[in-house]
Structure 1
Amino acid sequence: MPDAQAPRLLCVEVYESRPLSYVTEDAAALLTELARRAVFVPTTTRTREQYGRIRLPGPAPRYAICANGGHLLVDGVSDPEWSAAVAARLEEKCAPLAEVRERMVAAADPAWLLKERVAEDLFAYLVVDRALLPPGWVKELGEWADGLGWSVSLQGRKVYAVPKPLTKGAAVEEVARRTGAARTLGAGDSLLDADLLHVVDRGWRPGHGELADAGWTAPGVTVLAERGVLAGEAVLRGFLSEV
């Protein structure tokens, strides 16, 4: 949009002394109201350390979900019972992380591999130069990983390898059980949000992100035209209309 029409923004994340992430001022007010009327649960693929940089408006959420469902935070502390249950499920149903990470790194070309990381000892990802990433590379790795109980996806500049049982949706269902919630609402824009949008009673998908690029939708999911920070406002208005 023209600069003169841009919404006023509130910074909610600082990284290495620089502002990084934002919401609109209107979204900040909506989020504060939502937290007053419902159980608001931030849900992210971020590690706990990365999530810890976020300072959202309103009261601190009682629950938060990090590491794609690998950690359930209760008052800011990872719930040990949930973490143990996740670890047992992954050990039973998936090949070891070390095996998948080794294959990912060995198959990558230094010409386009920028970084490789392990998140919370749960999943791995590569940061790549997408313009140089060979067509079919992600698909080939995904076909190999599928037989080991892992999924592979390309999201922005990152190639993720994530155990199939490691899902945000499972953690959301656990929070709903603990809180006695009769109805759940959710929103997401990445491929790793698809299972969450299948689990909740009503979902919203912004007009940006990998799900939008793929034309993804599902029953009970509202497809928004809004993109970026304005999609955040639209999602929050949708939530408030339901609670």
Structure 2
Amino acid sequence: MPAPKPLLVATDLDRTMIYSGAAAGATESATVCVEHLDGAPLSYMTARGADRMRRLAATAAVLPTTTRTIAQFGRIRFPGEPWPYAVTSNGGNILVDGRPDGQWRRRIDAAVRTGGATLAEIATALRARIDDSWVLKFREADDLFCYLVVDLAATPADFVSEWDTWCRDRGWSASRQGRKIYTMPTAVCKSRAVAEVRARLIASGRLDAAAPTLAAGDGALDAEMLVAADHAIRPRHGELEELGWQRPGLIVTAATGIAAGAEIIDWFTAALPDQVLAAEPTS
């Protein structure tokens, strides 16, 4: 069996590692497309960042950790795949060699049932509060949570805060990331899924028990994961930046947009033990 990996990297994807053309920002770096939708290019990384991620995945335990549904995650060709584990649906699903882990999902479903309102109850209450003048799409995701795609300019200024307050008393929460407003059960969070994968990797001998966990993310749904990690980084953009969110020891990138993604990968790589870094070819 190969030696245990010395580092666990749990990273959000959208607007942390990968970027739409609109979210990428001004860049002089060469880019590579890592996602297509209906045959059209959709998401990108810098070419250097993609190369560094492939190298990182060969030496560290990299765990893609996303709020995307299983199907949406399946569109991404994230450098370093195939992934032994991935976290989707904001922690509601753990993929093992690309397949949903039924045992984990049953645990999550039980936690949601005991935690408060059902998805059907939340969806009904949400639909009663929205209309087509500012909501472009309403979606339920993997039978776990729901989200809106909105016209930001037309969205009532106090909607998210008022809706979040209503949800909190029922075991749910609301947050906005870009044009999406998520309504999520508190039982569904990335940090719990990352802890589960970490335990499995250690038990199987694939991760050193003393390996630190590093995490990256840009949105409020990433905050718990960043707090739970040994070391954390966020880009200088996104919801957490707008909130001025901090935690002790948090690193904030110097760059914004797609260049921040490459900077985060360099930060992950620099955390590898010296002997691993010494064995890496120079770029």
TM-score by length of 2: 0.83
Q: Match for 1:75: what amino acid?
A: D
Match status 1:88 vs 2:117: no
How far residue 179 of structure 1 moved from its aligned partner, in angstroms, is: 0.9
- One of 248, 252, 260 as aligned partner of 1:223: 252
**Any residues of structure 2 matched to 1:33-182 within 5 Å, and which?**
33-180=55-202, 181=207, 182=210
How far residue 59 of structure 1 moved from its aligned partner, in angstroms, is: 3.6
Q: Deviations over 1:48-74 (max 9, x none)?
A: 000000002234111100000000001
Q: Deviations over 1:175-219 (max 9, x none)?
A: 111111431111000111101101111111001110011111112
- One of 191, 197, 208 as aligned partner of 2:237: 208
Structure 1: 5+ residue stretches without partners: none
SS of the aligned residue for 1:131 comes to helix
How far residue 109 of structure 1 moved from its aligned partner, in angstroms, is: 2.2
Alpha-carbon distance in 2 for matches of 1:153, 1:58: 30
Alpha-carbon distance in 1 for matches of 2:214, 2:58: 15
Structure 2: 5+ residue stretches without partners: 1-23, 273-283
Alpha-carbon distance in 1 for matches of 2:264, 2:224: 18
SS of the aligned residue for 1:13 comes to strand
Match status 1:20 vs 2:42: yes
Q: Deviations over 1:64-85 (max 9, x none)?
A: 0000000000100011111111
Match status 1:195 vs 2:217: no
Q: Match for 1:238: what amino acid?
A: W
Alpha-carbon distance in 2 for matches of 1:163, 1:31: 31
Q: Deviations over 1:131-151 (max 9, x none)?
A: 111121211111111100100
Alpha-carbon distance in 2 for matches of 1:54, 1:233: 17
Q: Match for 1:166: what amino acid?
A: V
Aligned partner of 2:269 in structure 1 is 240
What percentage of aligned pairs have identical amino acids? 43
Judged with a 3 Å threshold, the aligned counterparts in structure 2 of structure 1 residues 59 and 96 are, in CA distance, closer, same or farther, namely closer
Alpha-carbon distance in 1 for matches of 2:160, 2:134: 13
Q: Match for 2:106: what amino acid?
A: A
How far residue 154 of structure 1 moved from its aligned partner, in angstroms, is: 1.6
Q: Contact 1:201–1:220 (CA<8 Å) still a contact in 2?
A: no
Relative contact order, higher structure (CA 8 A, sep 6+)? 2
Alpha-carbon distance in 2 for matches of 1:118, 1:97: 9
Alpha-carbon distance in 2 for matches of 1:2, 1:92: 43
Alpha-carbon distance in 1 for matches of 2:147, 2:31: 30
SS of the aligned residue for 2:63 comes to coil
- Report runs of 4+ in structure 1 exceeding 3 Å deviation: none
Q: Contact 1:188–1:197 (CA<8 Å) still a contact in 2?
A: yes
> Number of matched residues?
242
How far residue 110 of structure 1 moved from its aligned partner, in angstroms, is: 1.9
How far residue 157 of structure 1 moved from its aligned partner, in angstroms, is: 1.2
Judged with a 3 Å threshold, the aligned counterparts in structure 2 of structure 1 residues 122 and 222 are, in CA distance, closer, same or farther, namely same
SS of the aligned residue for 1:41 comes to strand
The Cα RMSD (Å) is 1.5
Alpha-carbon distance in 2 for matches of 1:17, 1:88: 38
Alpha-carbon distance in 2 for matches of 1:18, 1:36: 29
Q: Contact 2:167–2:174 (CA<8 Å) still a contact in 1?
A: yes
Alpha-carbon distance in 1 for matches of 2:124, 2:81: 42
How far residue 86 of structure 1 moved from its aligned partner, in angstroms, is: 0.6
Q: Contact 1:205–1:223 (CA<8 Å) still a contact in 2?
A: yes
How far residue 161 of structure 1 moved from its aligned partner, in angstroms, is: 0.5
Judged with a 3 Å threshold, the aligned counterparts in structure 2 of structure 1 residues 85 and 230 are, in CA distance, closer, same or farther, namely same
Q: Contact 1:226–1:234 (CA<8 Å) still a contact in 2?
A: yes
SS of the aligned residue for 2:33 comes to strand
SS of the aligned residue for 2:42 comes to strand
